[in-house]
Amino acid sequence: MKAGSSPSSEGHTLREMGRIVKPHGVMGELKVAPETDDPGRFQLLETIFVGADEASTSSFDILSVRLQPSRFGITVLLKLEGINSREAAESLNKLRVFASQDDLPQLDEGEYYLSDLIGLPVETVAGEVVGTVADVYDGAGHDLLVIQRTGGGKAMVPLVPEIVPKIDIDQAIIRIDPVDGLL
């Protein structure tokens, strides 16, 4: 464990991988809800960063990773160096889990990190400004964009190609083709 090290002091670009749901067992294992389309990516990592946000993380060496089917999909069970009891695991409860972008595989053409969508402007395919992406939720069948509407309020838009035909990270724009009643 490298307690107290933060991504800003070490120059890491962090990507959120999941959230600690609760301790698992009495030996310090952690149950993590993955926020990645491939929970197997956890098995590629040697170190993770845990904290309430990117600025307040501490790094931990990973001792083991197990993937466990659950009614919500796949749950990741992590054993971290220095976390050897249920009480120690409880001290990390509900915190976010990050990985250094350098430790993750390169993205293919057209792929993006969901966190890159936050803050992007959203407009309809007709050019009407809708608002900006405030958050991305992991829905049961697909992700949901939470859009902070320009005129106030929020809208939740399914992140599916039929409704979100264009995401251009380089041009910093998302275009949606909303069905009646969506907005």
- Long-range pairs of 117-120 with CB within 8 A, sequence gap ≥ 24: 117/145, 117/167, 117/174, 120/169, 120/172, 120/173, 120/174
d(CA 75, CA 158): 23
Band of residue 107 on the pLDDT scale cut at 50, 70, 90: confident
Give the model confidence (pLDDT) of 16-71 as tens digits: 999 999 999 999 999 999 988 789 999 999 999 999 999 999 999 999 999 999 88
CATH 2.40.30.60 location in the chain: 7-103
Helical residues (DSSP H) of the chain, grouped into ranges: 7-10, 86-90
pLDDT of residue 19: 94
CATH number assigned to the domain with residue range 114-176, chosen from the 4 options 3.40.50.720, 2.30.30.240, 3.30.70.3290, 3.90.1110.10: 2.30.30.240
Residue 81 has pLDDT above 70, yes or no: yes
Band of residue 110 on the pLDDT scale cut at 50, 70, 90: confident
d(CA 174, CA 45): 31
Which top CATH class is 7-103?
mainly beta
Tokens representing 182 are: 């969506």
| pTM of the predicted model over 0.75 | no
Handedness of CA 23, 41, 142, 107 (dihedral sign): positive
CATH 2.30.30.240 location in the chain: 114-176
Count Cβ atoms below 10 Å from residue 27 Cβ, excluding itself: 13
User: pLDDT: is 138 or 153 the higher one?
Assistant: 153
